[in-house]
Amino acid sequence: MDIDACQDLREAEEMIAFHINDTGCRYGLFNKENNELIGTCGFHCWLNVNQETKAEVGFDLSPKYWGRGLMQEALMEVIRIGFELMKLDYIEATTEVENLRSQRLLKKMGFTQESELKDNLLYFTLRDTETVKKEG
């Protein structure tokens, strides 16, 4: 999921429809000052493939809040939940080629970028919490 907000109601409805029958969990991110929903972060496509358990992490954040380290803070906790509670062997993420912000964040978090595009998306993988970078 890209780091940006839905552009209109139709796009929000499509996102909800995608996740409604999906496996995983999604958390709301709220502004501590006014309790406004500012984004989401969580897992979908939670599967067991070739005797390994994986899920794809997705996230979005209102552009008003970009550049504050909020998504990095949220991802640290979500990744911990993925490995410690969900017992994932690895976590995947995808971004559109143009989404440089998401790519930088994933690399900063320790994700490894796959070498080839699939469906015009870049794929990233994180194998365990030991590879998660604590410092930016």
Q: Count Cβ atoms below 10 Å from residue 39 Cβ, excluding itself.
A: 23
> What total number of domains does the chain contain?
1
Q: What are phi and psi of 3, to 5 degrees?
A: -85, 85
pLDDT per residue over 82-132, tens digit each? 999 889 999 999 999 999 999 999 999 999 999 888 888 999 999 975 555
Distance CA 15, CA 3 (A): 14
- Does some domain include residue 73? yes
- Domain of residue 52, residue span: 9-131
CATH label of the domain that carries residue 115: 3.40.630.30
Whole-prediction pTM value? 0.77
What is the widest separation between alpha-carbon atoms in the chain? 45
